[in-house]
Amino acid sequence: MIQTHNAQFIEKEAAWLTRWLDERLRAHAEGGEVDTARMLHHAPPLPPAGVAYCDVIRAAELGHAERLVLMLAFLPHLRPAALDPLLIRSEALQRRFTDAFARTDAAVHIFPTTPCPAPRIDEQGKFTVAGKEASDLTLSKNTVPTSGAGLPGINIPIGLSSAGLPIGLEINSVSDNDRTLLDVARRVQAFAGVLPAPGQ
């Protein structure tokens, strides 16, 4: 019976992630925004202790966003077809980035790793960006597209916020241009220098 409950809950988590992925893809196609807070709020409630998968979630103190990431690791084994739209989008994204590099004749693209300085660990579940409430998923907005396109990228810490927390720089390039990317990254690193660890 416990194994049955475990399988049932895992299926609910997989269905929740699939809905979340579908909504994100739809919003991307329509140029809209995803109500991330609403999707996270609809996480399946955890059943009582004794269900193995839920016990792991509780023991690790995983939040809703972290549960999505964990299930994403299992999804290829549970629902392989659910990831097909992501693979299609990856090829489309790669073409768009390749076109962008060709139009600008740029060897690399450089931009902030995150849209705001890193939040404290105890604040990463809810903080503000440009005066609007955001979740930790917001922090990946600048890095996920190129990663999803399978393009090479490097993140380098280049400074500290007024709170002493790291600010990063994302450097991306086109496929098979890793040598140039590494050379640019080394130059940026030499200019920025080695930063002290947060809190030091």
Report pTM: 0.54
Each residue's pLDDT tens digit, 51-61: 888 899 999 98
Computed over every residue of the chain, the mean pLDDT equals 80
Name the maximum alpha-carbon separation found in the chain: 61
DSSP result, the chain? -HHHHHHHHHHHHHHHHHHHHHHHHHHHHHT----HHHHHHTPPPPPPTT-HHHHHHHHTT--HHHHHHHHHHHHHHH-GGGGHHHHHHHHHHHHHHHHHHHHHT-S-EEEESSSSPPPPGGGTTSEEETTEEE-GGGGGTTTHHHHHTT--EEEEEEEE-TTS-EEEEEEE--TT-HHHHHHHHHHHHHHH-PPPPTT-
**Which two structure tokens, joined as six digits, stand for 37?**
């807070």
Which among 138, 140, 149, 139 is positioned nearest to 172, based on CA atoms? Answer: 149
Domain ranges of the chain: 2-78, 89-192
CA angle centred on 11, ends 49 and 90, rounded to 5° = 130
Which among 59, 43, 39 is positioned nearest to 51, based on CA atoms? Answer: 59
Each residue's pLDDT tens digit, 29-87: 565 666 777 777 788 988 888 888 889 999 998 988 889 888 888 888 877 776 666 65
